């Protein structure tokens, strides 16, 4: 008796060839980087969203097979904490009875979108140790060029306007108009570029390009007058410098910091930066704490308008602190879940640094936490600035932690570290 063994079907063979080609060309990485660049380059966020959901996601569904390879991401404390936080916001909003079903369903879709973004970012970082270098070698210069474009368009090349008016968005050119959001959008690639310089061996032209990008972005942040963004960038770069294993680069980045501080001191608008003092934070935080105390368990829900008018007549949109905002929106459990995300991401980022020398994850997270301690609110959204500020660092920390056992390609090492590593790799004699 003769038995015929059926080979793989043509459709399966075609799918495998497609997957091999997508992996070989790093299509998912390139498309993901394109998405982030489009957020900066175009005045409409819909182009970036279209590429993300209709190109990146389908490519990832092919590349990430078999899907059990995603289990380590989904079972990680970072992902679980993120899912719990978002679901708690939905649950408390539903139980409070004041959030319409339509808004709940919309936020459920946004929750899936956020978790998909975190999964994609983590997967790309985990699978390719060179992904973060590639990301910021592209995103850093792109953001710097966009900053130059925005400054030129906003000021009309007027030096007086440049020195006396806070940089804002330009209608028909930029996605965002708020100075603080613009400053934060420039701060994140600035920190990422500096961290890549601090942790990777780069070619001379790459060093020059990233250094120029960092300086341009720091200048643009200064022009926005956003002190939170400026401090966030300084803290993120400071973390990258402190964790770096390259002494000369530490000195170079410290020199850059000194130059920036000098520019702040002599800038014509530095007095305005100081005169704003706490920017009403000390006045608005007690108001939102009182609101949270009135509904400590369920909060006010995702549909509640958190806008408040202060005694000074100034109108504020939210509590300007992500934990306090979570406390107001979803109560104590939402705030605890958000703190859980931060702690899990910190542990994962620290694990990556200790294991592989990766400093980008912790630098981005440090910048994120600094900026979000004095501004912003984390709620489920479609692709927007919160993804750059919060969910990208979270996903990077997750992926870096899962690949902590891997030595980074092009990692910068001190000579004594290289010698020690070489000795450790030598086989022991009999």
229, with CB counted inside 10 A (0-12, 13-18, 19+), is: buried
| CB count in 10 Å sphere of residue 112 | 12
Residue holding tokens 């608008």? 269
Return mean pLDDT, the chain: 86
Q: Specify the pTM.
A: 0.89
Q: What are phi and psi of 316, to 5 degrees?
A: -115, 145
Domain membership of residue 13 (yes or no) is no
Question: Among residues 126, 114, 10, which one has the least CA distance to residue 64?
Answer: 126
CA–CA gap between residue 133 and residue 129 (Å, rounded):
8
- What pLDDT, in 10s, does the model give residues 95-143? 987 889 999 999 999 999 999 999 999 999 999 989 999 999 999 999 9
pLDDT surpasses 70 at 38: yes
Domains identified in the chain, total number: 1
415 domain residue, yes or no: no
Residue 352's closest CA among 208, 195, 225, 197?
195
Q: Is residue 321 in some structural domain?
A: yes
Q: Is the dihedral of CA 86, 90, 95, 98 positive or negative?
A: positive
Q: Can you give the residue range of the structural domain that contains 193?
A: 22-269+280-405
In a domain, residue 214? The reply is yes
What pLDDT, on the 0 to 100 scale, is given for residue 375?
Answer: 87
* φ, ψ dihedrals at 309, nearest 5°: -105, 125
pLDDT tens by residue, 373-402: 988 999 999 999 999 999 999 999 999 999
Q: What is the pLDDT of residue 301?
A: 92
Does some domain include residue 133?
Answer: yes
Closest Cα to residue 190, out of 252, 227, 144? 144
Residue 29 lies inside a defined structural domain of this protein: yes
414 within domain boundaries: no
Which is more confident, 96 or 420?
96
The pLDDT of residue 164: 80
Q: How far is CA 203 from CA 16, 127, 213, 384, 409, in A?
A: 35, 23, 15, 33, 13
DSSP 8-class letter at 280: T
pLDDT computed for residue 10 by the predictor: 82
Q: Does 161 map to a domain?
A: yes
């Amino acid at each position: 008796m003769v038995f015929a063994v059926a080979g793989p079907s043509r459709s399966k063979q075609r799918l495998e060839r497609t997957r091999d080609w997508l992996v070989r060309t790093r299509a998912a990485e390139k498309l993901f980087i394109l998405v982030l660049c489009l957020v900066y380059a175009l005045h409409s966020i819909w182009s970036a969203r279209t590429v993300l959901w209709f190109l990146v996601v389908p490519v990832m569904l092919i590349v990430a097979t078999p899907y059990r390879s995603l289990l380590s991401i989904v079972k990680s404390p970072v992902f679980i904490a993120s899912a719990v936080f978002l679901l708690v916001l939905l649950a408390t909003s539903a139980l409070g009875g004041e959030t319409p079903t339509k808004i709940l369903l919309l936020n459920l879709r946004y929750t899936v979108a956020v978790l998909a973004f975190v999964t994609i970012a983590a997967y790309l970082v985990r699978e390719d140790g060179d992904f973060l270098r590639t990301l910021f070698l592209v995103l850093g210069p792109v953001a710097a060029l966009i900053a130059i474009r925005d400054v030129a368009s906003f000021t009309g090349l007027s030096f007086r306007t440049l020195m006396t008016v806070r940089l804002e968005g330009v209608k028909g050119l930029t996605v965002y108009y708020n100075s603080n959001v613009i400053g934060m959008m420039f701060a994140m690639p600035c920190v990422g570029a500096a961290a890549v310089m601090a942790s990777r061996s780069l070619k001379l032209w790459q060093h020059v390009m990233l250094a120029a990008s960092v300086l341009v972005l720091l200048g643009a942040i200064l022009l926005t007058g956003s002190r939170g963004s400026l401090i966030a960038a300084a803290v993120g770069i400071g973390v990258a410098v402190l964790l770096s294993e390259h002494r000369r680069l530490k000195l170079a980045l410290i020199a850059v910091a000194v130059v920036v501080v000098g520019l702040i001191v002599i800038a014509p608008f530095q007095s305005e930066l100081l005169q704003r003092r706490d920017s009403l934070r000390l006045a608005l935080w007690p108001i939102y704490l009182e609101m949270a105390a009135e509904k400590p368990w369920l909060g006010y829900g995702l549909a509640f308008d958190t806008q408040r008018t202060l005694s000074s007549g100034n109108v504020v949109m939210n509590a300007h602190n992500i934990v306090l905002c979570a406390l107001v929106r979803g109560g104590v459990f939402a705030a605890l879940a958000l703190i859980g995300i931060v702690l899990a991401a910190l542990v994962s980022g620290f694990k990556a640094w200790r294991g592989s020398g990766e400093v980008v994850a912790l630098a981005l997270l440090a910048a994120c936490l600094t900026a979000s301690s004095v501004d912003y609110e984390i709620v489920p959204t479609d692709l927007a600035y919160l993804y750059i500020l919060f969910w990208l660092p979270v996903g990077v920390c997750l992926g870096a932690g899962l690949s902590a056992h891997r030595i980074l390609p092009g990692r910068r090492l001190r000579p004594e570290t290289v010698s020690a590593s070489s000795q450790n790799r030598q086989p022991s004699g009999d």
